[in-house]
Chain A
């Protein structure tokens, strides 16, 4: 039996004047899935979300919610709950009134309104602030009230637009865990928009990466991390992102690097694979910072670079290296603290090297 997906986008395109905000976006989201739209500012993620909600009208393409074509349906008929980035709470109403607002608009009876509001308030632990106005609430509470207001109508789809961006860094972890727990308990299909890849990695069932209006890759966090489809995804995901060095294959086992002519020895397996693709130059080598080792002594399977800045973050260090105009980041244990100006040899884990085509930026190995 064919189980219909909860949300389906087919060739969605949205323009603002001459700018194309979303280009040919096609996606299917299953019921109960927690999907994160991830990308830099201006990539189209919020616009896509707003199209699904009905707050924007796409120029082309179709949007299906629970099998129904909703392009011509106004927002209130789409059964979606929307949490805005800046909450959009009514300042002259109490938290209780804000949360009950959608229910009152739908003419629920007073008794059932109270029941539903208290249920949601209990879930989000905001029972004791229900009588306060937004001006008296902390950032975290405001966010919980906004969440409650979206949840109270038990929507089919739950849409959140960068809900944590206004919170201080220290509250984001808690709030994020709370949203994830709420999802685990209620199981609503959720789309969450953010530019913070750490957030995305932590809570997503699937991450949909976007750039310049186009969907780049839509897969589980693990897959996106270990098998990025192109250079944008590889660099955007990961803290810090993947390092890239121009390279070309020379001979049987040597790569010439775009770092002032330095060379790197690679094992045969890699050389063979590159050879078999037919393309041996105009390549880009990608290695993640945690897959690079630092050696004090010369190593053929590595290349030398100068230490610039060491960031000691506590549980780990980021070593920033430089060669001419190129920079590289290496993730190490906290006890590795080279001195600024020192030369060290960077040795990549051969099993974890990825190769990209320089022009298309797509992965070929």
Chain B
């Protein structure tokens, strides 16, 4: 199973630069997720790796081979599409057999039958083998689509948002199944999605892509806890991270003034060190995730007041929408937490989870 190496890949469509010097290194057997908003260049990346599009400059290696001049068939990659492309005139079984009957494979019918049956079992679609595609549900169709990719035992799986057209519930189930299957097959996989929950759940590593540029690559937890810049911090995480405009109030960065003086927070010596090293004291942004906003009933050191707007109950947790002056922020609490609109509460930010960003460059200030 080879890895995928992309170095300084550039792809333009006329005047539009879809991929702007992409560097990607997918290890053997890794489940690598490329996540970003629509139009970021995720699908283009997949198509370039598969060979369906040619690149302008840069190199693409599949394992040790330079893949740039290889046709899609020769690259031995299998594509799974977002919009199920099952051949409507063939049964499910015939659809699964199709890749194995191509000029490149030419397997014996016995071998084909065995493979089709083992794949059907893996994906729980054995009872569907003799049905036509128009008799399948969305989830079943997608399983067959995945099955058709697996049946070839390709070197690489390329998946283009395969779950995004499915119901929310089905997505939750299938993403675990898909991940489980991949870890058993150990096939190198490049998976693309705009849903950051999918990325967090499934990736061994994730890359955050926007407008043809990769902002950060790392393990999901790493990207979540230590985002490299504002884009990554706001794209990853649901509900979104809270952002406040920020200024050093004096006292050597032990005190920060937020939202033009709307409120202040104090930092310990440890936390204030990296900020005191900065040359600029203004034009900063403070980011803190909703689960790191703590609510208290009473005043205390380092706490500031806010008013409750409304609560969202999600069963396993609540999101409290709060307001300070004109600014709205969200806090995540246990499901048992209760408050009424216009209640006053005292907030505290978990210090080691605060991230400071430079407003101009968008980059995060490293914590050490």
When C-beta atoms are compared, the residue in chain A nearest to B166 turns out to be A41
Q: Pick from A173, A195, A313: contact of B201, CB below 8 A.
A: A313
A177 to B310, CA, bound (A): 11
Interface members, chain B 239-293 (any A CB < 8 Å): 239-240, 289-291
Kindly state whether residue A198 has any CB partner on chain B within 8 Å: yes
Instruction: Contact check, A169 vs B201: say whether CB atoms are below 8 A apart.
Output: no
Residues of A near B313 (CB, < 8 A) are 201-202, 221-222, 225
A94 to B316, CA, bound (A): 44
Residue-wise, chain B 127-166 has the 8 Å CB interface mask toward A (1 for contact) of 0000000000110000000000000000000000000000
Instruction: Contact check, B315 vs A238: say whether CB atoms are below 8 A apart.
Output: yes
Residues of A near B332 (CB, < 8 A) are 315
Residues of B near A237 (CB, < 8 A) are 315
When C-beta atoms are compared, the residue in chain A nearest to B195 turns out to be A169
Instruction: Contact check, B138 vs A201: say whether CB atoms are below 8 A apart.
Output: no
Residue-wise, chain B 196-208 has the 8 Å CB interface mask toward A (1 for contact) of 1100111000000
Interface size on B, residues (CB 8 A): 42
Instruction: Contact check, B194 vs A168: say whether CB atoms are below 8 A apart.
Output: yes
Report the minimum CB–CB distance from A164 to chain B (whole Å). 11
Instruction: Contact check, B196 vs A239: say whether CB atoms are below 8 A apart.
Output: no
Kindly state whether residue A102 has any CB partner on chain B within 8 Å: no
Residues of B near A221 (CB, < 8 A) are 313, 315
Contact status of A169 and B194, CB under 8 A, knowing A202-B314, A311-B200: yes
A256 to B65, CA, bound (A): 56
When C-beta atoms are compared, the residue in chain A nearest to B312 turns out to be A202
Instruction: Contact check, B316 vs A289: say whether CB atoms are below 8 A apart.
Output: yes
Instruction: Contact check, B291 vs A315: say whether CB atoms are below 8 A apart.
Output: yes
When C-beta atoms are compared, the residue in chain A nearest to B328 turns out to be A177
Residues of A near B291 (CB, < 8 A) are 315
Report the minimum CB–CB distance from A93 to chain B (whole Å). 25
Instruction: Contact check, A314 vs B237: say whether CB atoms are below 8 A apart.
Output: yes
Residue-wise, chain A 306-333 has the 8 Å CB interface mask toward B (1 for contact) of 0011011111001010000000000100
> Besides the contacts A169-B196, A202-B313, A221-B315, what 19 more A-B pairs have beta carbons closer than 8 Å?
A40-B170, A41-B138, A170-B37, A170-B240, A173-B240, A195-B167, A197-B168, A198-B314, A201-B314, A201-B315, A237-B315, A239-B315, A308-B180, A311-B175, A311-B202, A312-B201, A314-B200, A315-B290, A320-B180
B contact set with A: CB distance below 8 Å: 37-38, 137-138, 167-170, 172, 175-176, 179-180, 183, 194-197, 200-202, 220-221, 224, 235-240, 289-291, 310, 312-316, 319, 321, 332
